Amino acid sequence: MRENHLPIPIEEAFFSVVSLQWPLPSQSVRGTEQPRLKGMEQFTGEQVFFMTMCLSLCQEDGPLRSSPPCNAAVRNFAPFATAFNCSRRSAMNPAKKCHLLAGQ
């Protein structure tokens, strides 16, 4: 592990976390039934948002060719844990989170 306790350079983790600060698509429609994507009906809007964000961080080649940039960002973001019902103190919902930006 690196000194920053992340499996990726701190700069990559920072930009991943910054991308999570954008509003989640369903925040403006809470309490209403959300349409589901055909063929992906088992996923909520929040889950699709996070999956899309993670896919956008992946590359076939290069420094972002695996999941650590996504995992490092979302494991410290409470809305991700809520969206996927991650157990408290699990790998994707640690009790001690790194809060790089205010508002989390």
The total number of structural domains in the chain stands at 1
CA nearest to 73, candidates 96, 47, 54, 59: 54
> Is 7 a member of any domain?
yes
Q: Mean pLDDT of residues grouped by 10 in the chain (104 residues)?
A: 48 58 55 72 86 74 62 83 93 82 46
> Is 15 a member of any domain?
yes
Residue in this structure with the two tokens 């999941």, named with its chain if needed: 67
Q: What are phi and psi of 52, to 5 degrees?
A: -65, -45
> Is 34 a member of any domain?
no
> Is 65 a member of any domain?
yes
State which residues form the domain around 15. 1-21+43-94
Spatial distance between the Cα atoms of 79 and 40, rounded to a whole number of angstroms: 20
* pTM summary value: 0.62
> Coil, helix or strand for 14?
helix
